[in-house]
């Protein structure tokens, strides 16, 4: 629909609401992604990967209509312009003027896309990931990026809210929202995701074996001849099985460690003369010791500790904040009771990176 000002020559005129000009497109931005996908042959690579999959019933290839690769890309283009439901495909499909700009000009109808999407299994989605990795390699070559440079992979989770109680696999998060929790391995230097695992919204933490599988899959999607790989991991992924898998895969790691009795004990072994001022963080200090997680059969790991001061006044203003969890419980209570004027909040990072390598990758110096 469009809004047009009509002036009949007298007065202020009137507003006419009617059909928009069909020679115009509301999704002109897809011209950029459409041209890029065509040059990188995204559809062809997806179809080629799906064609060699033998672990599950193949995605049906029809004589007429879209190929599996075209279906995937058409749905992606719909998402790029804000689509959240299969029904949103109808809006893109109705955009006749933009059909020549999109990668897939013949956007499928919502019922067709829904029916054909049911052919895809887990292994097919992993084949699509592999095709996207190959496309990423082509893009990197075209941009002249150095293949052998170091690789940093961030492993983190996000949340997607959905609607409807019958959504398969959806569950309620801690905030009470129905949704999913995608766990994503993200290649920091390239600015793109390598792989992900979709679970219910109540699973913000994965098992050690699940974390290890994601890490292995992410590493397998890097180009041949890539540089040394390091994983940056938050405390939700602090799992011995993941660390052991990374060691076997010759990948290094920096991982935030939950504040536990073991961490408070390690903190107590750090002398006051060891602390040094942190760069670019006014008031913060860092120190280093070693720690060997239970079950870790290799060398003791470097434990980097950061502390930030909090005054009693600041603590009073942080009531209910997660930042209060960085303070040792006994120290926090003393501050709340007015017995001490200031305390420190602590963060713990465990790593097997060499000294210089750690500071470069973690952003801490």
Does residue 4 lie within any of the structural domains?
no
Does 353 lie in the same domain as 276? yes
CATH at residue 201: 3.30.420.10
Residue 133: exposure state from Cβ atoms within 10 A (0-12, 13-18, ≥19): buried
Instruction: Give the end of a domain, one of 211, 240, 256.
Output: 256
Q: Three-class SS string for 13-28?
A: CEEEEECCCCCCCCCC
Among 133-137, 156-160, 192-196, 346-350, the minimum mean pLDDT is found in 156-160
Does 216 lie in the same domain as 116? no
Q: Is the pLDDT of residue 87 over 90?
A: yes
Q: What pTM value is reported for the model?
A: 0.86
> Are the C-beta atoms of 243 and 251 separated by less than 8 Å?
no
Does residue 130 lie within any of the structural domains?
yes
pLDDT digits (tens, 9 = 90+) for 266-291: 999 999 999 999 988 888 999 999 99
Does residue 13 lie within any of the structural domains?
no
Does 238 lie in the same domain as 280? no
295: left (phi over 0), alpha (psi -120 to 50) or beta: left
144 phi, psi to nearest 5 deg: 75, 25
Does 349 lie in the same domain as 325? yes
> Are the C-beta atoms of 255 and 265 separated by less than 8 Å?
no
Q: Is the pLDDT of residue 2 over 80?
A: no
Q: Is the pLDDT of residue 5 over 80?
A: no
Does 233 lie in the same domain as 129? no
pLDDT at 318: 81
Q: Provide the number of structural domains found in the chain.
A: 3
Does residue 18 lie within any of the structural domains?
no
Does 321 lie in the same domain as 285? yes
Does residue 12 lie within any of the structural domains?
no
Residue 31: exposure state from Cβ atoms within 10 A (0-12, 13-18, ≥19): middle
Does 343 lie in the same domain as 295? yes
Percent of the chain predicted with pLDDT > 70: 91
Does residue 233 lie within any of the structural domains?
yes
Residue 302 DSSP code: E
Does residue 202 lie within any of the structural domains?
yes
How far is the C-alpha of 295 from the C-alpha of 239, rounded, in Å? 11
201 phi, psi to nearest 5 deg: -65, -15
Q: Which residue range forms the structural domain that includes residue 222?
A: 147-162+169-256
The beta-carbon contacts of 195-198 under 8 Å, at least 24 apart in sequence, are: 195/126, 195/129, 195/221, 198/169
Whole-number Cα distances in Å, 273 to 191, 253, 343, 355, 359: 40, 28, 17, 19, 21
Does residue 14 lie within any of the structural domains?
no
Structure tokens at 238: 């602090």
Does 336 lie in the same domain as 248? no
pLDDT at 10: 59
In the numeric block, the tokens 């990423």 are attached to 136
Does 69 lie in the same domain as 43? yes
Instruction: Give the end of a domain, one of 229, 256, 283.
Output: 256
Mean pLDDT of the chain: 90
Maximum Cα interatomic distance, the chain, rounded to a whole number of Å: 88
How far is the C-alpha of 44 from the C-alpha of 185, rounded, in Å? 25
Does 274 lie in the same domain as 178? no
How far is the C-alpha of 185 from the C-alpha of 218, rounded, in Å? 6
Structure tokens at 135: 């496309």
Instruction: Give the end of a domain, one of 199, 223, 256.
Output: 256
Does 205 lie in the same domain as 296? no
pLDDT band at 323 (very low <50, low <70, confident <90, very high): confident
Torsion (CA) 196, 202, 207, 213 in degrees, nearest 10: -10
pLDDT band at 365 (very low <50, low <70, confident <90, very high): very low
Among 3-7, 106-110, 155-159, 217-221, the minimum mean pLDDT is found in 3-7
Does 92 lie in the same domain as 174? no
């Amino acid at each position: 629909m469009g809004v047009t000002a009509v002036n009949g020559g007298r007065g202020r005129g009137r507003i006419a609401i009617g059909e928009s000009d069909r020679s115009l497109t509301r999704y002109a931005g897809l011209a950029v992604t459409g041209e890029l996908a065509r040059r990188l042959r995204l559809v062809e690579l997806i179809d080629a990967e799906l064609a060699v999959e033998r672990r599950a019933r193949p995605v049906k290839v029809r004589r007429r209509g879209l190929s599996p690769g075209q279906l995937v890309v058409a749905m992606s283009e719909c998402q790029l312009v804000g689509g959240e439901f299969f029904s949103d495909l109808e809006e893109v499909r109705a955009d006749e003027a933009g059909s020549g700009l999109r990668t897939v000009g013949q956007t499928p109808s919502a019922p067709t896309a829904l029916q054909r999407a049911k052919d895809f299994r887990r292994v097919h989605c992993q084949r699509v990931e592999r095709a996207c990795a190959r496309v990423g390699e082509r893009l990197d070559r075209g941009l002249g990026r150095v293949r052998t440079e170091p690789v940093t992979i961030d492993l983190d989770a996000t949340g997607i809210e959905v609607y409807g109680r019958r959504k398969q696999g959806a569950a309620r998060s801690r905030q009470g929202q129905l949704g999913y929790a995608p766990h994503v391995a993200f290649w920091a230097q390239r600015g793109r995701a390598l792989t992900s695992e979709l679970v219910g919204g109540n699973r913000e933490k994965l098992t050690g074996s699940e974390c290890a599988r994601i890490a292995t899959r992410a590493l397998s999607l890097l180009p041949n001849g890539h540089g040394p790989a390091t994983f940056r991991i938050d405390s939700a992924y602090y799992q011995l099985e993941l660390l052991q898998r990374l060691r076997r895969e010759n990948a290094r790691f920096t991982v935030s460690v939950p504040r536990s009795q073991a961490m408070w004990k390690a903190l107590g072994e750090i002398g006051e003369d060891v602390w040094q001022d942190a760069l670019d963080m006014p008031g913060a200090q860092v120190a280093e010791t070693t720690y060997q997680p239970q079950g870790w059969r290799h060398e003791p790991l470097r434990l980097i500790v950061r502390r930030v001061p909090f005054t009693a006044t600041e603590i009073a203003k942080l009531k209910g904040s997660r930042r209060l969890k960085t303070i040792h419980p006994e120290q926090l209570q003393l501050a709340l009771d007015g017995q001490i004027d200031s305390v420190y909040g602590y963060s713990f990072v465990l790593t097997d990176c060499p000294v210089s390598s750690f500071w470069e990758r973690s952003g801490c110096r």
